[in-house]
Amino acid sequence: MPTSPSTSGRVFGRIERWMEIQKNGRIYELGSLPPFLLVFAGHVAPIEHKWNQHGLGGDNVKGSCRDLHPGPVSLLHWSGSGKPWLRLDSKQPCPLDALWAPYDLYGPSP
């Protein structure tokens, strides 16, 4: 990870460059993740599983719900297209979407 303003500027410049290439001609899928993987390749360290409970978006499979991994959880990550606010609004939530519901500032869509 960047440790100084000058390093941060170079890193973010490289990320922006990959995003510009993508804008001009699609070279990857998966949204914003690939440029970060390209820039930070080989410069990452594993973290404890509890820090990112990923995949709660159901792997982009409609109607697919996941459970939390065992143990404590620090961050809930609804990746993919299965966002809790969309499922709650459509009255087709996954059980874990109830964890997000108290933070919905707008309530259900009309």
Q: Whole-model pTM?
A: 0.57
Based on the fold, state whether residues 32 and 60 are members of the same structural domain.
no
pLDDT at 108: 64
**pLDDT tens digits, residue range 70-85?**
888 888 888 777 888 8
**pLDDT tens digits, residue range 22-55?**
999 989 887 788 999 999 998 888 888 778 887 7
Q: How far apart are CA 10 and CA 16, in angstroms?
A: 10
**Residues 73, 49: contact at Cβ < 8 Å?**
no
Distances (CA, A) of 29 to 26, 32, 72, 78: 8, 9, 31, 17
Q: Is residue 36 part of a domain?
A: yes
Q: How far apart are CA 49 and CA 102, in angstroms?
A: 25
Q: Is residue 75 part of a domain?
A: yes
pLDDT at 18: 93
Closest of 28, 50, 48, 47 to residue 37, by C-alpha? 28
> To the nearest whole percent, how much of the chain has pLDDT over 90?
17
The answer to whether residue 2 scores a pLDDT higher than 60 is no
Based on the fold, state whether residues 24 and 53 are members of the same structural domain.
no
Based on the fold, state whether residues 26 and 60 are members of the same structural domain.
no
Average pLDDT, the chain: 82
Based on the fold, state whether residues 17 and 57 are members of the same structural domain.
no
